[in-house]
A and B are shown apart, each in its own frame.
Chain A
Amino acid sequence: MRLVLFAIASVAALSAAATTAAVSGRKAAQVMHARHEGMESIGKAFKALHREFDSASPFAPTVKSSSGQIASLSKQSSGWFPAGTGPEVGKTGAKPEIWLPQNKADFAAKVSAFQKAALALNATAAGGDMNAAKARYADLGGTCKACHDKYRSEMHH
């Protein structure tokens, strides 16, 4: 049990570390641009999924390709929030709370939950079971909302 807790703590510390290597200048601008584009692409793909799962018979090829896009972008998302890319350096919807010491573990956990949900959806969609995929899609939406409600401001257009 103690070993498991230690392993969890290490993983949390490592993923937190991934977001703490501070950047500045051109590098910060590049990261913020990549983050914005990435988030927008995820949003577009999620909207396509919404349309499919809201219909009586989801079109499997669209579900598969959109799920695949979100899964691959989710892997990049670990690198989207280094310190130094907050609203103090440029226009962004990322709230400064992301980089507060007391939120680091929580933020990393939310990013990680998103990544897991994205991979789970992609795996299920690839299997072709649209009912199961719809449930994974709902889980994924929950991870978007959980993080956005807390860490995204409305100044992100």
Chain B
Amino acid sequence: MPRQIPVGDAPLSREAQPVWDLPVRLVHWLLAGLIAFSWWSVHNHHTDWHIWSGCAILTLLIFRLLWGFVGSSTARFANFLRGPRAIGEYLHGRWSGIGHNPLGALSVIALFLSLAIQVGLGLVAEDEDGLYTGPLYRLVSIDTSDKARDIHELWFNVILGLIALHVLAIIIYRLRGKYLTKAMITGRAVLEPGVLPMRRARWWLVFICLAAGIGVTRWIIAGAPPFSS
């Protein structure tokens, strides 16, 4: 009886391979936490905490935007933003790869855009008593600022809808045997044979992107001089 000898890379392919880098995972979970905290704080008389939370989200969004150009392969927009044809291929089961699939990428972009809009509204909003103001409230009139708050409040429903869609998709994948949450925690997943793992970014670029995010946020907190004094 011949001995069973593993052939080629087969055993290796059953080991979990990197699919999400640490910055992508941190941004993801910090955003989840900060969105929850923003909701809780503004409904519990901590509007000041709510504003700081929004500024933290702004920093993360700027960081993630830059990381989408210089980050690891699965973090880059160029690698996951695909056209309608790629989405069609995916829907016909003819897509293999790691990271965001062509359809899921739309959800990711919608989530980031909706958060950017929410932050933008918050920056110029003020609470209805005039006690708290977003750092850029001086750029607009009192009426515009009040209107921005009203839309900010309504827009949260759009974000909630997108989050619900996101979670629902994850549950459906899970029922079909794909554990996406685990990969977003550990950063690793078992890949199908022939699929290349993530290519890592140069680690020091994290600090440049983060410095840019913090720098721009601080400038906005200062009222974006010299545009508003």
Contacts and interface: CB of A to CB of B under 8 A. Distances in A.
A47 B142 contact: yes
Contact of B131 (A44, A145, A154): A145
Interface stretch (A14-22, A51-59, A71-79, A116-124): A51-59
Contacts of B83: none
A107 interface: no
B130 A46 contact: yes
Contacts of B146: 47
14 contacts: A43-B129, A46-B130, A47-B126, A47-B142, A47-B146, A50-B126, A50-B131, A51-B138, A51-B142, A54-B133, A56-B229, A141-B130, A141-B131, A145-B131
A145 B47 CA distance: 11
A49 B130 contact: yes
Contacts of A54: 133, 138
Interface string B102-143: 000000000000000000000000101111010000100010
Pick from B129, B138, B229 the residue with the most CB of A within 10 Å.
B129
A148 interface: yes
A55 B133 CA distance: 13
B227 to A, nearest CB: 14
Contacts of A47: 126, 130, 142, 145-146
Given A43-B129, A44-B142, 18 more contacts: A43-B128, A44-B130, A46-B130, A47-B126, A47-B130, A47-B142, A47-B145, A49-B130, A50-B126, A51-B138, A51-B142, A54-B133, A55-B229, A56-B229, A141-B130, A144-B131, A148-B129, A157-B150
